[in-house]
Amino acid sequence: MTRFNDRKQPVEETYFGIDGKMVISKDGTGASVKYAYSDGGIFVGQSYFDERGALVPVEVRVEKSLPNSLAARIGLFAGDTLVSYAGVALSSIHNS
C-alpha cells in the first residue's frame, strides 16, 4: 500500500502479507518505508521500519569521493560502507 502527498509523491509504502499483517519487503529493507521531501518537493531521503514500527538500521555505500572534499580529507573513499555516525547506527538515508 502506498500513500501519496498533495504533489502525488509517495510518502509511505507498507508491505502486507496475504493474512493482512505487515511483512518485510522482498528486498529485505523493511516492512514500510517513509520518504522525505524538501518544502519544494525535492526528494531528500527515506527511512525503513520493521513490522513493529521500529527503525531498521541501514548501511550507506560511498559511490564517489571527490579529491580534496571533506569526505576525502576524513578518509572516505568509493566502496567504503558507513554503518554509524558519531557512534550511532544509521537509520535513514538522506541526501545532503
So where are the chain's domains? 2-94
Contact 51, 31 (CB under 8 A): yes
Side chain identity at residue 92, one-letter code:
S
Q: Residue count of the chain, please give it.
A: 96
The pLDDT assigned to 95 comes to 54
pLDDT of the chain, 96 residues: tens digit per residue: 999 999 999 999 999 999 998 888 877 777 899 999 999 999 998 888 988 888 888 888 899 989 999 989 999 999 999 988 888 888 777 654
The pLDDT assigned to 55 comes to 86
Which 8-state DSSP code applies to residue 41?
S
pTM above 0.75, yes or no: no
